[in-house]
Amino acid sequence: SQKIEQNSEALNIQEGKTATLTCNYTNYSPAYLQWYRQDPGRGPVFLLLIRENEKEKRKERLKVTFDTTLKQSLFHITASQPADSATYLCALDADNTDKLIFGTGTRLQVFP
């Protein structure tokens, strides 16, 4: 069956450290993968998109990698800050359609 898996346990890290979140998928062949941030009671906010032919993408303190062999994407936040505390969702296109399928998200808590 098709699955998108993110670590359901919260990730707690100290301010200034690098946070690394994992997204694994099964039985999908996405053309791209996206990462979103979601705060409680709010809609997701788009962060980064990485295409299947891209290994890595960066945006300010964010870095995303995409390994189509491992079927995995890693999302890194360097020099993390308490304001980075939120739930982070990965999403991919369902078999090259326009529909996005989301993982369950990982809650990140950055403490001072």
* Residues near another protein (CB under 8 A): 4, 34, 36, 41-46, 49, 89, 91, 98-105
CB of 112 vs another protein, minimal distance in Å: 25
Which residue is associated with the tokens 């990965």?
Answer: 90
Q: How many Å apart are CA 55 and CA 87, to the nearest integer?
A: 24
Q: How many Å apart are CA 60 and CA 54, to the nearest integer?
A: 17
CB of 111 vs another protein, minimal distance in Å: 21
CB of 82 vs another protein, minimal distance in Å: 22
Q: Which C-beta is closer to another protein: that of 55 or that of 99? A: 99
Q: Which C-beta is closer to another protein: that of 84 or that of 105? A: 105
Q: Which C-beta is closer to another protein: that of 17 or that of 58? A: 58
Could you say which DSSP state residue 97 is in? Answer: S
CA distance to 40, 61, 83, 86, 89, per residue, from 70 (Å): 31, 24, 31, 26, 19
